[in-house]
Structures are given as structure tokens and as C-alpha cells.
Amino acid sequence: MYWFIIKSIASAVLGSQFYNWYAQTKIGIYFQNRVNQFMEYVSQKYDIELTKKQSKFEKDYPLVMKRIDEIEKKQSERFPHLIERIKKLEKKNK
């Protein structure tokens, strides 16, 4: 049992160190750029929103997100014509 835990920790540390080294090489930078381009292409093609950072922010700061949502709601009620214009522009850009 302990052998498995030690092996897992050692593998994680070595893998992390290898990635840190590999990410600094020309091939690593090229490969990472290609992966980023592909992910951007897929997200645009299938209209996927990558909300990982936003969901992390929501978990870390729930009260701030609640206040932001309230402000957005008030603004959408106060300026409905602007919301409609924004939606039309978003549809036009797709």
C-alpha cells in the first residue's frame, strides 16, 4: 500500500519537473501553441465557452459574484434597449 503511494508521489513530481523543462524548449512552446490553437478552434466551432476561470472565481468569491449578478440584473432592467443591441451584435459577429 505504501509503495503505491510513494510511487504515485514520485511519478507526479517527476512528471511535473519534466513538463516544466519541456515547456521551455522550442518544441514544447510550439506544441503548446498548437494545442492552444486547436482548443480555440474547437471552442469556436462548437460554441463552447471555457468557463473554468469564471467557475473558480465563483467558488472562491461567492459574495462578489452575487453582487455582480445583482448589478447586471439591475442594468439589464434599466437599459433593455442596450441589451437588445448587444445581442444583435453578437448574432451578427457569429
Beta-carbon contacts of residue 22 (< 8 Å; ≥ 6 apart): 28
Residue owning grid cell 462548437: 46
For cell 471555457, the residue is 50
Q: What is the pTM of this model?
A: 0.42
Cβ neighbors of 23 (< 8 A, separation 6 or more) are: 29, 32
Residue 27: per-residue pLDDT = 92
The tens digit of pLDDT for each residue in 14-69 reads: 888 888 888 889 998 999 899 888 888 887 777 666 556 667 778 888 898 899 88
pLDDT for 26: 92
pLDDT, residue 67, reads 92
In this structure, what C-alpha cell is assigned to residue 26? 522550442
Q: For residue 86, is pLDDT > 90?
A: no
What is the distance between the alpha carbons of residues 74 and 94, in angstroms, rounded to a whole number?
Answer: 27
